[in-house]
Each structure stands twice: as C-alpha cells, then as structure tokens.
C-alpha cells in the first residue's frame, strides 16, 4: 500500500524549533518529488515547500523562507522539514504529499498530517 | 506568484443536484490545474488533474474543464459523501498555490 506517515508535531514556544518527518512506503520514494503543505485551523491549504527527487532543487513559500529547511534521505525513504524561529502563524496541520511530475503535475498521495502548535 | 480565486466560497445543495465550482487564475496556467476534495479532519484527496483528467478511482460524476485562466469542477449528481470542501491548485509554477476553497453543504 502506498503510504505517507508524518510525525514530529507538537507544542512549541514562539522562537522555538521542530523537525517534522514523513515516512514513505509502498512506492519508490527516490523517484518522486515531494512537498509539504499546511493548513492552519479553520483555514485553507497553503503550499510550504518542494524538493526534487534527488534533493538538488528546493523551493519555499515566502512565508517560511529562511526559517524552514526541507530535506530528504532516499536511503531511509524519508522526507523532513526543519522548522526554526517558529511563529504563532505557523500553527497548522502539516501534510507531506507526493508529487507526480511527468507530463503534468499533481499531488496524488497525502499523509494524514501532523499538528504543530506554536504558543507560549 | 499566481493567485487563484474560487466561486462560490460556499454553496448549499441537495442530493441529486448538479453543482459547479469555478476557479480563476491571475495569469494563464495552461491546463496545470488540479482539484482536491477535503473532508473535516482528513487529508485532501486528488479528484482531477491536468484540468480535466479524472484520478483513478474517482467517481465519474466528477468532471473538470477549462484551460488558461478559467476552470470548472462539476459534480453531475451530488451524493451524500460529496459534502466537503473543494480546492483548486495551480501547478504551472512555484509556489504551487491553492484556491481558498469552496464548501459544499447540505441544503
């Protein structure tokens, strides 16, 4: 079964750090681009970051640039999001999503999400 | 960045109704548009990609159309399990922005 499982969420104080993980199974992880998408409570979806299959190309939303770092370990079938200098507005459910990118692009597999709460 | 708007933001409909949701892009995105369905407390689910291609396993009552800057998602006959929030997403260029969502509720 194709699956993504996020972990690492929790309660953190403003200015703190957190590292999210996403474990992939059921497909050849190293062949796929990956993304992080978040959803603040009661709000819509916000794309956060992208990493290419090799890890050589990375993009960030302006809202997290300079504070978040995406990475991957293809040997461990894992995706990561290092989040530093966290703010209240970073409070959200964070999803990892597999990106299909051949002739067209779409996010076809999503994890169930992990909740990050930034509060004192 | 490419901005997406959706209309309506909320709609109330009955089982069996035909429902149409519109997504507009601030600049041309060819057919690089996807539609997702999200139910409360759940992850988004891909419905349609490339503006009009139905994802495997998605019921045929869902359809998509459009290109350039205007796109539509149509549910031909609304079923009880279709009450959810629907998002469009452009995948023409990063950042891969989402529309604000359309909540479909029971009349």
Average pLDDT, chain B: 97
Q: Inform me whether the pLDDT recorded for A53 exceeds 90.
A: yes
What lies within 8 Å, CB to CB, of B34 at 6+ separation is A105, A106, A107, B46, B47, B48, B49, B50, B88, B89, B91
The dihedral over CA atoms of B6, B9, B12, B13, expressed in degrees to the nearest 10, equals: 10
pLDDT band at B27 (very low <50, low <70, confident <90, very high): very high
Question: Residues B61-98, buried b or exposed e (16+ Cβ, 10 A)?
Answer: ebbbebeebebbbebeebeeebbbbbbbbbbbebbbbb
pLDDT for position B106: 86
Q: Do A104 and B53 touch (CB under 8 A)?
A: yes
Taking residues A99-118, what's their average pLDDT?
A: 94
Residues of B in contact with A104 (CB under 8 A): 31-32, 49-50, 53, 91
pLDDT band at B33 (very low <50, low <70, confident <90, very high): very high
Beta-bridged to residue A68, according to DSSP, are: A83
- What does the alpha-carbon distance between residue A109 and residue A22 come to, in Å, rounded to a whole number? 12
Q: Do B32 and A45 touch (CB under 8 A)?
A: no
Rg of chain A taking only CA atoms, in angstroms: 14
- What does the alpha-carbon distance between residue B82 and residue A65 come to, in Å, rounded to a whole number? 36
Model confidence pLDDT, tens digit, residues B52-90: 999 999 999 999 999 999 999 999 999 999 999 999 999
Residues of A in contact with B44 (CB under 8 A): 37, 45, 95, 97, 107, 110
Average pLDDT, chain A: 97
Provide the chain B residues 33-92 that lie in CB contact (below 8 A) with chain A.
34, 36, 38, 42-46, 49-50, 53, 55, 87, 89, 91
Full set of structural domains in chain B with CATH: 4-106 (2.60.40.10)
**Better-scored residue on pLDDT, A84 or A103:** A84
pLDDT for position A42: 96
Q: Return the DSSP state at A31.
A: G
Q: Inform me whether the pLDDT recorded for B10 exceeds 90.
A: yes
Percent of all residues in chain A with a pLDDT value above 90, rounded to a whole number: 97
pLDDT for position B107: 86
């Amino acid at each position: 079964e194709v699956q993504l499982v996020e972990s690492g969420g929790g309660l953190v104080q403003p200015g703190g750090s957190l590292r999210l993980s996403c474990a992939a199974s059921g497909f050849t992880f190293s062949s796929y681009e990956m993304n992080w998408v978040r959803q603040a409570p009661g709000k819509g979806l916000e794309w956060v970051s992208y990493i290419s299959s090799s890890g050589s190309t990375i993009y960030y939303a302006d809202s997290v640039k300079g504070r978040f770092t995406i990475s991957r370990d293809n040997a461990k079938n894992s995706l990561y999001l290092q989040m530093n200098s966290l703010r209240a507005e970073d409070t959200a459910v964070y999803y990892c999503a597999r990106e299909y990118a051949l002739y067209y692009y779409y996010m076809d597999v999503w994890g169930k999400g992990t909740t990050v709460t930034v509060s004192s | 960045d490419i901005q997406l708007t959706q209309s309506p933001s909320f709609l109330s409909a009955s089982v069996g109704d035909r429902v149409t949701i519109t997504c507009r892009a601030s600049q041309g995105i060819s057919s690089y548009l996807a539609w997702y369905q999200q139910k409360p407390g759940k992850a988004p689910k891909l419905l349609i990609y490339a503006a009009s291609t139905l994802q495997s396993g998605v019921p045929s009552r869902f359809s998509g159309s459009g290109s350039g800057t205007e796109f539509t998602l149509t549910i031909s006959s609304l079923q009880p399990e279709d009450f959810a929030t629907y998002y469009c997403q452009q995948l023409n260029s990063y950042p891969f922005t989402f529309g604000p969502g359309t909540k479909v509720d029971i009349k």
